[in-house]
Structure 1
Amino acid sequence: MTAAAPVVGASTDTDTPRVNWTMLLLGFTGMVIGQFMAILDIQIVASSLPQIQSGVGASADEISWIQTAYLIPEVVMIPLSGYLSRLWGTQRVFLVSCTGFLLMSVATGLSTSIEAMIVCRALQGFVGGAMIPAVFAIAFTAFPGRHRVTATVVISLIVTLAPTIGPTLGGHLTEALSWHWLFFINVVPGALSLFLVARYGNFDKGDPSLAKGFDWWGLVLMATFLMSLQFVLEEGAKNDWFADDMILLLAVAAAICGPAFLWRSLAYRNPIVELRAFANRNFLIGTLLTFIVGAMLFGGSFLMPLFLSRVRDYSASEVGTTMVVSGLAMFLTAPFAGRLARIVDMRILMCGGFVMCAWGMWDAHAVTSEWGFWEFAGVQAIRGCGVMIAMIATNQITMSTLPPHMVKNASGLVNLSRNVGGAFGLAILNTSLTQNTALHMGELTQGIQQTHLGMQAMLAGMQERFAGSIDPAGAAMKAVYGMLQRQATTLAFGDAFALLAVACAIAAIMTLFARPSPVPAGPPLGDAH
């Protein structure tokens, strides 16, 4: 196939470059499809783990690695992809990444043992990780002027919708076909992505001279730091944190390799990750806010389904039906937020978005054991709108003030910040749920004595209900304990929602420290040539 001409002309450093819009939009569409697949596959297995466990004969401990194995190597590729894009060019890196992702998707779906599946999932996450930041970089280097906002809106939709609909789509696929199709479903959109990017995605050229003096020590330090950190965050809450020897060992490894990697990146002449972007105040603040967006996005998508299944005993399909409000709110907000981003100061949008997130989560902290679809609908609508507005504005203010040569590398750092923020958020929320459930259970049991007249009446009524059982008194006590446990769990979820609300309020205050970032003017789409 003859190589296509670059989609952006020689004047790429100006605000109004010569653009072949057909090639740019088709190539960008192909990349967006790939990005959607890579993000979707993080959560698509969440509601189908029991079926996968049965299919490959895995234990309860082993099956959790289906998600962990994907996430740990992915965090290494995300920052590494910036260097590879500068070395080989975005198109080549994306095509290699997408091809490897498709091959590993098929291999994962064909796996007959948990060991083979974990290896394939790890490789799938590693090679697929390069697709995610590549789309961000192209949005800020190939699109001129105001059209960057439109590209940012599309990216923000993908980043927010993919993890939101992942469990729902996965549950329906498994129910209608089988768990194998969680992975086989990538083949057709992946092939379309490959075709579009191969034919129309010649966005830039690589710089082969970067291969000289490749920083292997930097790569080893970065990989050890990020993989250790991700493992600690993913598995720490399950294993009682530092009481587990492996968690303690990897935490020490992360604590040593993290500073060593930073030193290496600052001292080496050709570092894998260029950290100079953090000298830009907007990029620094934007990266911190993206960290909180990650915790908010993944944390909210984690707490609500868990509450509905654990407290309300909802099925996977009922959870999916309830959670659809969040995705719908994000989808409807995106074009409105995109228009606002062209006329309103980005700092105002960021602040407003985070305030809405804080509002929604603070409303949810009053959750009761009777909450269902309609009670969560308002919470999800407010949170969904806030997340979309905050993400669009944060992406724009983080990247728009950077010089073009820093964008590819910075894109990897931004996406890494969001993923690590999500991991931190889930780890903190998991720990909070465990500790606060036990705390509230202690408070409830201490506050209700068996000598209390109301308690005695309740136990007597329960014993009458279980009169046909072998041990009516024991059955009555067990039922009361279950009621108290449910109430303690509900209170712990309220505390977790409050934690997210506080984090969003802090983020809203942080937006005030960003510098103004006006959207550059650009020609209307029909006038570009």
Structure 2
Amino acid sequence: MTASQRIEHSPPEDKPRDKLDSKVLLVAGVIVLGGIMSILDITVVSVGLQTFQKEFDATSAQVAWTMTGYTLALASVIPLTGWAADRFGTKRLYLLAIVLFAAGSALCAAADSLQMLVAFRVLQGLGGGMLMPLGMTILTRAAGPERVGRVMAVLGIPMLLGPIFGPILGGWLIDVASWHWIFLINLPIGLIALVYAAIVLPKDRVEPSETFDWPGMLMLSPGLATFLYGVSSIPEAGTVWAGKVLIPAAIGLVLLAAFVPWALRRHNIHPLIDLRLFLNRDLSIAVIAMSLFAMAFFGASLLFPLYFQQVRGESALDSGVLLAPQGIGAMITMPIAGILADRIGPGKIVLTGIVVITVGMGMFTQLSADTSYTYIVAALFVMGLGMGATMMPIMASALATLKDHTVARGSTLMNIVQQVAASIGTALFSVLLTNGLKDITATSPVEVRSQMGDAFASVFLVATILVAVCLVPAALLPRKKVKATDPTVLAGH
């Protein structure tokens, strides 16, 4: 029996697997390292935008392409990941993703123009886009459906550490060295991850290959990229009705809409994204819950550093430090939520988490220019407690009902949903905040700061309502442990 067979096959029922054994934890270490490398890079680069403006004598809209280019590449490659994992094997593809990401990082550090930097960020995005869905697939297969909640809790670590330490690390590297080091830092991490993955991940056992869905790729990947490009242009345009927003977004939606009947057309083809997974009720509900949550939470997360820097005058480094309590709160609840989701189902856990996040987000509706940092830190900590019990249990709810090759397709689908929803949320809250700040009529610095604080509070009210809406699909999530071998679940009943 091969290593992968030992990991993927379930043990006898009389010896139920409860804890994560050493083999699964070793695999988890690889995935966490790759995830940290990918997610950390997004937040590290965000603090370098002002530096890029000075370095390349560019506008804020132009340097924003260093973020947008990465996001578009990431969204475009995610749909290919499920098929490529089945065709080439998860280990080979994961090693390739690390190499692409590290190579892109080295080239970014060597860029001597903004155009080169954006192009190399796209290369980074191609590698980074494969790391998270592949990581979810590898870990879910290694642990089995009965432990997917705990596995998702482990996978949530990089999602927490990135936003906490990214701004801190990025600000520090720029202060003590140069902007080049926010990319060079990925090289030693990538080398360690590459060697670690080559040793620890089980050897691939590739089944006879499915045919590649070329028409699907020509519709889905460009559709996602052009739609997200349009959405990403909303903050710069200031309105949804601008041509640079409407035209690409409409083209993207048309391509995505055309993909749906194609994917459902014949049973003898293997669509790039298997939309028949939506016949699985639990997965469909989890997708809806994840969409609303990602839109609200990741969109609102944009507001915190902006408030600290624009209203309170904090540096990027200090803003990152002030955000740390949110990650600490999530790190406390995430392992507990993972264990409970495996034992009693994710429904009650996610409901509790969303209630807690709503309370924390609601505290920010009382924000002002002089709100005490004790109050703000407490609110961030409460939000973190709720986040730790929300996002990864939702993921676990979707993947726990899948098995075999559908795990790769399911994790790919969830990552696409999360990416699109987060992009929409970011654009939504950027426009709301921009419009709120435009309404400022004061002239004295004190009154300007006061009205800026009120504008942030108004946007946080929208975020609070959006988070609260997540309670509806969360109430429909399973309230008991669900097994992937349950034929009613797999049939979508």
Distance 2:5 2:101 in 1: 28
- Determine the C-alpha separation between the residues in 1 that align with 2:260 and 2:47: 38
Residue of structure 2 in register with 1:9 after alignment: 6
User: For residue 218 of structure 2, what is the aligned residue in structure 1?
Assistant: 220
Aligned mates of 2:149, 2:443 — CA distance in 1 = 57
**Alpha carbons 1:15, 1:144 under 8 Å: kept:** no
The Cα of 1:418 is off from its aligned counterpart by: 1.4
**Compared CA separation, residues 11 and 33, structure 1 to 2 (3 A):** closer
Which of 84-93 and 148-157 deviates more?
Answer: 148-157
Residue aligning to 1:328: 328
Residue 481 of structure 2 corresponds to residue 515 of structure 1: no
Give the Cα–Cα distance (whole angstroms) in 1 for the partners of residues 12 and 330 of structure 2: 29
Which residue identity is paired with 1:501? T
Residues 78 and 132, structure 1, Cα contact 8 Å, conserved in 2: no
**CA distance in structure 2 between the aligned counterparts of 1:396 and 1:256, rounded to whole angstroms:** 31
**Equivalent pair of 2:235/2:431 in contact (CA under 8 Å):** yes
After TM superposition, give the deviation of residue 21 of structure 1 in Å. Answer: 5.3
Change (3 A) 1:372 1:73: farther
Q: C-alpha distance in 1, partners of 2:249/2:447?
A: 36
- 8 Å Cα contact 2:300-2:426 kept in structure 1: no
Partner in structure 1 of residue 200 of structure 2? 200
Does 259-268 or 197-206 show the bigger shift? 197-206
Match of 2:460?
497
5+ residue gaps in structure 2? 485-493
Which amino acid in 1 is paired with 2:418? R
- Aligned pair in 2 of structure 1 residues 88, 394: CA closer, same or farther (>3 Å)? same
- Partner residue, 2:254: 256
- The alpha carbon displacement at 1:97 in A equals 0.9
Would the aligned equivalents of 1:28 and 1:201 in 2 still touch at CA under 8 Å? no
Is it true that 1:433 corresponds to 2:399 in the alignment?
Answer: no
The equivalent residue for 1:90 is 90
Relative distance call for 1:252 and 1:391 in structure 2 (3 A) is closer
The equivalent residue for 1:159 is 159
C-alpha separation in 1, matches of 2:437 and 2:55: 33
**How far off is 1:345 after superposition?**
3.9
Equivalent AA in structure 2 for residue 261 of structure 1: F
What is the aligned counterpart of 2:450 among 463, 468, 487?
A: 487
Q: Distance in 1 between matches of 2:8 and 2:33?
A: 28
Q: 1:172 to 1:519 in 2, by over 3 A?
A: farther
Q: Which residue number corresponds to residue 490 of structure 2?
A: none
Aligned CA distance change for structure 1 residues 372 and 66 (closer, same or farther; 3 Å): farther
Structure 2 contact 145–401 (Cα < 8 Å) conserved: no
Q: Which amino acid aligns with 2:219?
A: L
Q: In structure 2, how many angstroms separate the alpha carbons of the residues matched to 1:177 and 1:15?
A: 55
* CA apart distance, 1:366: 0.7
Cα distance, 1:420–1:15 mapped onto 2, change above 3 Å: farther
Once residues 480 and 406 of structure 2 are traced to their aligned partners in structure 1, the CA distance between those partners, rounded to angstroms, is: 17
Tell me the SS of whatever aligns to 1:45: helix
- Whether 2:360 is the aligned partner of 1:360: answer yes
> Which moved further from structure 2: 300-309 or 118-127?
300-309
Q: 1:392 and 1:478, CA in 2 relative to 1: closer, same or farther beyond 3 A?
A: closer
- Taking only aligned residues, the RMSD between alpha carbons, in angstroms, comes to 2.5
* Conserved 8 A contact 1:57-1:114: no
- Code of the residue aligned with 1:508 in structure 2: it is L
Structure 2 residue 190 is the aligned partner of structure 1 residue 190: yes
Question: Alignment partner of 1:267: what SS?
Answer: coil
CA contact (8 A) 1:224 1:253 kept: no
Relative distance call for 1:49 and 1:336 in structure 2 (3 A) is same
SS in 1 for 2:202: coil
Q: Does the 8 Å contact 1:432/1:496 carry over to 2?
A: yes
Residue 9 of structure 1 aligns to a residue whose secondary structure is helix
Deviation sequence 1:438-482 (CA, Å, 0-9, x none) = 45x4xxx6xxxxxxxxxxxxxxxxxxxxxxxxxxxxxxx842xx4
Matches within 5 A, 1:115-514: 115-144=115-144, 146-202=146-202, 204-210=204-210, 212=211, 214-267=212-265, 269-439=269-439, 441=440, 478-479=443-444, 482-514=445-477
Structure 2 CA distance for aligned equivalents of residues 263 and 39 of structure 1 = 34
Q: Distance in 2 between matches of 1:52 and 1:372?
A: 33
Q: Secondary structure of 1:202's match?
A: coil
CA separation in 1, counterparts of 2:242 and 2:55?
Answer: 30
What's the offset of the Cα at 1:417?
1.3
Instruction: Find the residue that maps to 2:371 and give its secondary structure.
Output: coil
Task: Give, as a single letter, the amino acid of the residue that structure 2 aligns with 1:231.
Answer: Y
Deviation at 1:339, TM superposition (A): 3.7
| Inter-partner Cα distance in structure 1 for 2:205 and 2:164 | 35
What amino acid is the match of 1:6?
A
Q: Deviations over 1:161-200 (max 9, x none)?
A: 3234322221112112211111111111211111121122
Q: Which amino acid aligns with 1:378?
A: A
Distance 2:382 2:12 in 1: 35
Where does the alignment leave 5 or more consecutive residues of structure 1 unmatched? 446-476, 522-529
Change in Cα spacing, 1:335 to 1:110, as seen in structure 2 (3 Å) is same
Q: How does 1:22-33 map to 2 (within 5 A)?
A: 22-33=22-33
Identity %: 25
Instruction: Name the TM-score, length of structure 1 as normaliser.
Output: 0.85
Change (3 A) 1:323 1:405: same
Larger Cα-atom Rg: 1
Please name the residue that 1:75 is paired with.
75
* Distance (whole Å) between structure 2 residues aligned to residue 339 and residue 516 of structure 1: 14
SS at match of 2:472: helix
Residues 61 and 236 of structure 2 are in contact (CA less than 8 Å); yes or no, is this contact kept in structure 1?
Answer: no
Residue identity matched to 1:219: M
C-alpha distance in structure 2 between counterparts of 1:305 and 1:15, whole Å: 50
Q: Is the 8 A contact 2:356 2:386 kept in 1?
A: yes
* Offset, 1:251: 1.8
Who is 1:472 aligned against?
Answer: none
**Offset, 1:88:** 0.7
Q: Residue 33 of structure 1: CA displacement? A: 0.8
Amino acid at match of 2:474: T
Tell me, yes or no, if the aligned pair for 1:337 and 1:388 is still in contact at 8 Å.
yes
Query: Could you list the per-position Cα deviations for residues 48-97 of structure 1 after superposition, in whole angstroms to 9, with x for gaps in the alignment?
Result: 21223333443332111111110011011122211110111100111111
Match of 1:99 in 2: 99
Distance 2:330 2:12 in 1: 29
CA distance in 1, matches of 2:365, 2:84: 44
Contact persistence 2:350–2:393 (CA under 8 A): yes
Q: Deviation at 1:289?
A: 1.5
Q: Distance in 2 between matches of 1:157 and 1:10?
A: 22
- Deviation sequence 1:473-497 (CA, Å, 0-9, x none): xxxx842xx4443333222211211
